[in-house]
Structure 1
Amino acid sequence: MTQGTAHIQPNGKKIAKTVLMPGDPLRAKYIAENFLENVEQFNEVRNMFGYTGTYKGKEVSVMGSGMGIPSIGIYSYELYNFFDVDTIIRIGSCGALQDNVNLYDIIIAQGASTNSDYVDQYNLPGHFAPLADFDLVAKAKAQADNLGAVTHVGNILSSDTFYNADETFNARWQRMGILGIEMESAALYLNATHANKKALGIFTVSDHILRNEATTPEERQNSFTQMMEVALEIAD
């Protein structure tokens, strides 16, 4: 285990084997303050807050990833390869694409399609499909059902573009059954696979892209508690 990197400086504080990773560092702070006990902050570099504590006696860390594949690509790579983390569960918001998916529903990302070139670094002789760890998918679905959450399991899109000049972009991904769009999970799944580690993305639907429905920033930061509870319950 390294003493620190340019992006993560624990200064002797422990990082758990399982890390919950929202995009927003303030969501990480919210989880630490409202769900964890015996909390210690292990990172504040670039205001990318990271905390370790216990949840029902289990040691769990939570840390922001920032926005986009380059950002989570750095943080998840370092957690897996430099800090001995075994599992990262991304908890975030996404925009829905399918008619049967509604605001506040939970999407469990079995796969993460992408328009990113992140996979090119592996120089594979074909197209690789980034997938979540199946055991985590199954546990998350069972836990979400126990909580009475409306869930959807399937393929999401990790997009490099938030504002896309191609006006047909969303409709074409909808046609291929993509449940929702976010911006990070493909890199997380690729890093996990390459490091022989585990990863999962769990999302609360914050907006419906085709209906112009949306939640507020405050709701995204503080109100997506079912998703947080699912991730905490399945943390090893």
Structure 2
Amino acid sequence: MEMTPTAHNGANKGEIAKTVLMPGDPLRAKYIAETYLENPVKVTSVRNMLGFTGTYKGKELSVMGGGMGMPSMGIYSYELYHFYDVDQIIRIGSAGALQDHVKLMDVVIAMGACTDSNYAYQYGLPGTFAPTADYELLVKAVKAAEKQGTKVVVGNVLSSDIFYHHDSGVNDKWRSMGVLAVEMETAALYMNAAAAGKKALCLLTISDLIYGEEKLSALERQLGFGKMMEIALEL
């Protein structure tokens, strides 16, 4: 009997934990599962968007890739919340720093997510929705970072639909408003969580400097975000 709820996820109901860590890169999900989880089991590999469930310090935990961009995050997080009864998703991703005080490999916690996306159109709201993190998860993340001895920067990020922007001055405008960093998924995750009455938090490691030359390689992005991963695991 077919028990898979969606066309995008091969897991059966009950095979995904209530808490899911969600990197964009499915290979990072594989790395986290093999490095940190006890007895990880691959529960989905549809479209090579790998997902695993195991335990961490005795508690069941899943980790699954979410892909690039808000359409991809929108699909996977929606399905996890609505079809797999997930309670909270912690995105662990990379971002480009927009502010000079945000350095390479710093961990940014997204308190809110600005966006140039039309994702919120679907809700028919009579104004502009401000996507924000779950406060309880945010406080826990800050405390976990302090215990770990890792400095974190908390504030607003930008979730953009556009990686190669036609307007060469667009980053200057967001930078002038104090936005810390730019990435491509958080706003959709926070909106899906709000609409579902669930929890979400986004942790980002700075992989490149928009106003500098430093940046991480693809392999460093895949394997080198240990501090961020360990903060997320404590949530």
TM-score tier by shorter-chain length is over 0.9
Residue equivalent to 2:123: 122
Q: How does 1:217-232 map to 2 (within 5 A)?
A: 217-232=218-233
Distance 1:155 1:29 in 2: 29
Match of 2:98 in 1: 97
Is residue 25 of structure 2 the alignment partner of residue 24 of structure 1? Answer: yes
* Cα distance between partner residues in 2 of 1:77 and 1:202: 19
| Equivalent residue number for residue 74 of structure 2 | 73
- For normalisation by structure 1, the TM-score amounts to 0.97
Structure 2 match to 1:45: 46
Number of residues of Structure 1 aligned to a counterpart in Structure 2: 233
Within-5 A mapping of 1:189-204: 189-204=190-205
Distance 1:75 1:145 in 2: 31
Deviations 1:174-204 (A, max 9, x none): 0001100000000000000000000000000
Match of 1:151 in 2: 152
Distance 2:216 2:149 in 1: 21
Conserved in 2, the CA contact under 8 Å of 1:131 and 1:189? yes
> Distance between the aligned counterparts of 2:215 and 2:150, measured in 1?
19
Residue 59 (1) aligns with residue 42 (2): no
**Distance 1:13-1:127 versus aligned 2 partners, 3 A rule:** closer
Matching of residue 182 in structure 1 with residue 183 in structure 2: yes
Confirm or deny: 8 A CA contact 1:13 1:41 kept in the other structure.
no
Q: Note the C-alpha offset of 1:13.
A: 6.2
**2:34 corresponds to which residue?**
33
Contact 1:13–1:40 (Cα < 8 Å) also in 2: no
Q: Is the 2:5–2:13 Cα contact (8 Å) retained in structure 1?
A: no
Match of 2:214 in 1: 213
- What do the CA deviations read for 1:3-40 (whole angstroms, capped 9, x no partner)? 32110111466100000000000000000000001111
Structure 2 alignment gaps of length 5 or more: none
Instruction: Please state whether the residue corresponding to 2:207 is helix, strand or coil.
Output: strand
Cα distance in 2 between the residues matched to 1:187 and 1:12: 24
Q: Which amino acid aligns with 1:138?
A: V
- TM-score of the superposition, structure 2-length normalised? 0.97
CA distance in 1 between partners of 2:213 and 2:161 (Å): 21
Give me the whole-angstrom Cα distance separating, in 1, the residues matched to 2:12 and 2:123: 32
Given that 2:13 and 2:84 are in contact with CA atoms closer than 8 Å, whether structure 1 keeps it comes out as: no
Given that 1:13 and 1:42 are in contact with CA atoms closer than 8 Å, whether structure 2 keeps it comes out as no
Query: What is the distance in 2 between the residues matched to 1:13 and 1:196?
Result: 20
Question: Residue 100 of structure 1: SS of its match in structure 2?
Answer: coil
Gap runs ≥5 in structure 1 = none
What residue identity is the alignment partner of 2:23? P
Structure 1 stretch displaced more, 137-146 or 188-197: 137-146
| Cα deviation 1:118-146 (Å, max 9, x = unaligned) | 00000100011000000111000111111
Q: Which amino acid in the other structure matches residue 100 of structure 1?
A: H
Which structure 1 residue ranges, 4+ long, deviate > 3 Å from structure 2?
A: none
